[in-house]
Amino acid sequence: MFLLQFRNELWKLFGKKRTYIGFVMFLLAQNVIALVFKYTHASRPMQRMLEAGGQVAEHYISALTIATIMLVPSAAFLLPLYVALIGGDLVAKEAEDGTLRMILCRPVSRVRLLMVKFLAGVVFSLLLVAALGVFGLTFSRMHFQWGGLFVWMPEQSIFSLFDPSTGLSRYVAGHLMLVSEAASIMCLAFMFSCFNIKPAAATILALSFVFVSFIMEHIPYFKDYQNWFFTHHLNLWQLVFAETIPWWRIFQSLSLLAGFNATFLTIGVAAFQVRDIKS
C-alpha cells in the first residue's frame, strides 16, 4: 500500500504544470549562457588566466568547463527557488485545495502521508539536479569542443585542472553531492508547508531562511562561525572539484545536513499532527 500511495503521489506531483517550471528554466538559462560564451568575448579573462599559468587555453575552454561555470550560479539561485516552490506546495497546496481533508478520511496515518509526500519531493529534487547536469553538458557540447576541465572557485580556494575523463567524473560527482543541497532546501520548505499557511508563504519562508543564512555567512566578522550556517554546508558539492578532495569536510557537511533535515522533518510532522484539518 505504501508503494502504491507513493506512486500515486508521484503521478499527482508530475501531473502539475508548475512542477516543470524549473526544468524549462534550466533549459532556457543554460542555453542562453552557452550562447553568450560562444558568441562574445566572455571567455577571454579565463583564457588569459590559463595562459598566464602556462596552460593551453583552447584545451580547457571546453564543454566541461562551460557546463561547470554555469552550474555555480544555477545551484546558488535557481535550484533553491524551484525546489522550495515544490516543497512548499506538497502539503500546503493540498490543504488550500481542500483535498487534504478528503485524503485523511481514509485509514492513512498523518505520518505516513507526510513520508510519502517527502519522498516524492526527494525524487523531484534528484530529477531536477539530473536535468541541471544533463542540460548544461548538452548545450555546452553543442557550442564547445570536448576537452579538459578548468575550475576556479575563489570562495572555496579551488583552482583545478583535470583531463577530460577525470573532469567528467568530477562533474558527475558534483551533481550527486548537489542532490543534498536540493533535498535539504526542499525539506526546509516542506517543514513550513506542514504549518497552517499558504503554499506561497511556505516557499517564501524557506527562501528567506536560506538567504538570511547566506547573508550571515558572508559577513566578514562571522567568518569564525561559518560552520553554524545552513548555507555553508549546502556548498559541499563544490569541494568535489578540488585537486585533492577533502572527504572529511564533505562527510562533516553531509552529517550536519542530515541533522538539519531530521530536525526540519520532526518539526513539520509535529506541527502537522496537532493541526485541526477536518473541522
Q: What is the pLDDT of residue 1?
A: 77
Contact between residue 110 and residue 273 where contact means Cβ atoms under 8 Å apart: yes
pLDDT tens-digit readout, 134-184: 999 999 999 999 999 999 999 889 999 999 999 999 999 999 999 999 999
pLDDT above 70: residue 10: yes
pLDDT above 90: residue 229: yes
d(CA 76, CA 63): 21
- What number is the average pLDDT over the span 42-48? 92
pLDDT above 60: residue 204: yes
> What stretches of 144-243 show up as alpha helix (H) in DSSP?
164-193, 199-217, 230-234
pLDDT above 80: residue 80: yes
Q: What is the pLDDT of residue 279?
A: 53
d(CA 46, CA 30): 19
d(CA 165, CA 24): 29
In whole numbers, what is the pLDDT of the chain averaged over residues?
94
pLDDT tens-digit readout, 85-103: 999 999 999 988 888 888 8
Positive or negative torsion for Cα 139, 143, 145, 147: negative
Q: Where are the domains of the chain?
A: 2-272
Contact between residue 250 and residue 177 where contact means Cβ atoms under 8 Å apart: yes
Which grid coordinates are listed for 243?
Answer: 585537486
